A = this chain, B = another copy of it.
Amino acid sequence: MSQKADEEGAIPDLARLDLHRQGRAGIPEAVLAEGKSLQQVVTIAVRMAQAVGRALITRLPSGWGDQLRAQLGPELGVDLYGEGRLAVVSRPGHRPAHSGGVVGLLAAGSADIPVAEEARVTAQEMGCEVRHFYDVGVAGIHRLVEPLETLRGDERLGAVIVVAGMEGALPTVVKGLLPLPVIGVPTSVGYGYGGGGTAALMSMLQSCSPGLTVVNIDNGFCAGATAALIANRLAELRDQTAGPPR
């Protein structure tokens, strides 16, 4: 990493942006809004969008959307994803290129949807198509049949994200039925003993279905990024296979 690249990302007394993470690690840096002031988020996002075209902001506090838009100025646009608490700040014309990667996404309950949405938008920002099915938990396991058939039938799928709170059993059941890497995302949905995502995280780590790996509670961003990374590498190979258009 050159000294110059480092300097480009430095915002004194606030942050040193890792503008080359995409090249080095295959995943772009994102801006976690939680714990920062609006002004700090704007400063970082603007610098990032100017440098690399787009900036993904996660965990945007509710009600910040309009203020964010107001402070960006005319040369930058913003897309808001309210349910998933995300925003994307971008320079005109900087849309994510379709990578050809395809990711599956299941959420167990209605309350798990915000985390699932964080994963969905993240994977889309990395160029993927996301096929999602929500409220398909294990207490009524018949609801799972159709989504799994659909996913089994799509050969382009690189990985499947399964989001679940409460007892967190869905990823285990899904992985037992699909020949794909499954990434489990426990959510903080739950109560009493094992609440806050503890039971869900434990269940996924204890799972007797090999092929399932896990991210931390509510971390839809990491799940989306990892699934997209896997899917994009497959898609890249597929493109090479397909050869030049005939």
Contact = CB atoms under 8 A, between A and B. Distances in A.
A80 interface: no
A208 B225 CA distance: 12
A36 B226 contact: no
A141 interface: yes
A122 to B, nearest CB: 9
Contacts of A206: 166-168, 190-195, 199-200, 216
Contact of A173 (B14, B138, B180, B210): B138
A111 interface: yes
Interface residues of A, number: 92
A65 to B, nearest CB: 17
Contact of A202 (B13, B30, B194): B194
A246 to B, nearest CB: 15
27 contacts: A14-B113, A15-B110, A16-B143, A25-B176, A25-B177, A26-B179, A26-B211, A35-B111, A138-B169, A139-B209, A166-B208, A167-B168, A169-B173, A181-B226, A192-B197, A192-B217, A192-B219, A193-B198, A193-B202, A195-B206, A200-B206, A201-B205, A205-B214, A210-B226, A212-B222, A212-B226, A213-B222
A85 interface: no
A162 interface: no
A230 B160 CA distance: 12
Given A36-B111, A179-B229, 14 more contacts: A16-B140, A23-B179, A25-B175, A25-B177, A26-B180, A138-B169, A138-B173, A168-B203, A169-B173, A192-B201, A195-B206, A205-B216, A233-B234, A237-B238
A176 to B, nearest CB: 4
Interface stretch (A47-55, A71-79, A89-97, A129-137): A129-137
A15 B215 CA distance: 25
A178 B142 CA distance: 13
A179 B113 CA distance: 29
Given A18-B139, A206-B199, A216 B237 contact: no
A193 B14 CA distance: 26
A1 B181 CA distance: 21
Interface in A60-102: none
A193 B135 CA distance: 24
Contacts of A142: 1, 6
